[in-house]
């Protein structure tokens, strides 16, 4: 192992052990993540989550992961979702099994989801979105479980995200661009 890599690894481990989030050279948290649907705000969520793992066990899409020390000691063993890797399908099963209410139980109904799910909000980088470059795409629109509510399309299937986006990440997961032209800004950030 090179000395530079070794020193960087030690620094990352020390930051994790000190309860500090690991930061990149640009100051960004290394992992852009979402909390499961129905999760309380970050401080309350961390105070209530007992790290039982039931949310991930019940998830039919297997999108829920658990933090090690990479996000600091306060997040250790708490559930998170990385939308580009595997997005949430809004089945709402995680809230049904959460024993502490860190993830609220919500019915899988449109109004309940719109009122109770605040994972994040999608935004479109028009400079790299194919539909804004004169090529019809629409993949993100077709992936959205809340079509014509959270996202609409215009000419050449140009995506327009509305204020009703709950941040499930299915649009980001499905985007064929690299880097993706549509991303979720997490609500906990």
What are 174-187's pLDDT values in tens digits? 999 999 999 999 99
**Of 2-6, 25-29, 32-36, 175-179, which gets the smallest average pLDDT?**
25-29
Global model pTM greater than 0.95: no
Task: Output the six-digit token pair for 93.
Answer: 């099963």
pLDDT value of position 31 = 75
Please write the tens of the pLDDT for every residue from 35-56.
999 999 999 999 999 999 999 9
**Of 21-30, 49-58, 76-85, 120-129, which gets the smallest average pLDDT?**
21-30
Alpha carbons within 13 angstroms on the beta-carbon side of residue 183 total 13
pLDDT value of position 188 = 84
Other CB atoms within 10 Å distance of the CB of residue 110: 12
Q: How far apart are CA 32 and CA 170, in angstroms?
A: 15
Task: Return the bridge partners of 150, or none.
Answer: none
Phi/psi class of residue 138: alpha, beta or left (left: φ > 0; alpha: ψ in -120 to 50)?
Answer: left
CA-derived radius of gyration, the chain = 18
66, 56 Cβ separation under 8 angstroms? yes
């Amino acid at each position: 192992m090179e000395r530079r890599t070794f020193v960087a690894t030690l620094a990352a481990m020390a930051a994790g052990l000190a309860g500090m989030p690991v930061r990149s050279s640009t100051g960004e948290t290394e992992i852009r993540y979402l909390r499961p649907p129905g999760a309380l705000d970050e401080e309350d969520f961390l105070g209530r989550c007992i790290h039982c793992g039931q949310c991930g066990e019940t998830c039919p899409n297997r999108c829920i992961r658990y933090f090690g020390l990479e996000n600091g000691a306060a997040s250790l063993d708490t559930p998170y979702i990385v939308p580009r890797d595997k997005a949430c399908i809004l089945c709402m099963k995680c809230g049904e099994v959460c024993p502490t209410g860190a993830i609220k139980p919500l019915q899988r109904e449109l109004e309940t989801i719109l009122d109770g799910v605040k994972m994040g909000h999608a935004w479109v980088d028009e400079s790299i979105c194919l539909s804004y470059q004169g090529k019809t795409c629409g993949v993100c629109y077709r992936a959205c479980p809340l079509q014509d509510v959270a996202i609409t399309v215009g000419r050449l299937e140009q995506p327009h995200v509305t204020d009703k986006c709950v941040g499930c990440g299915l649009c980001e997961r499905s985007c064929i661009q690299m880097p993706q032209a549509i991303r979720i800004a997490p609500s906990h950030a």
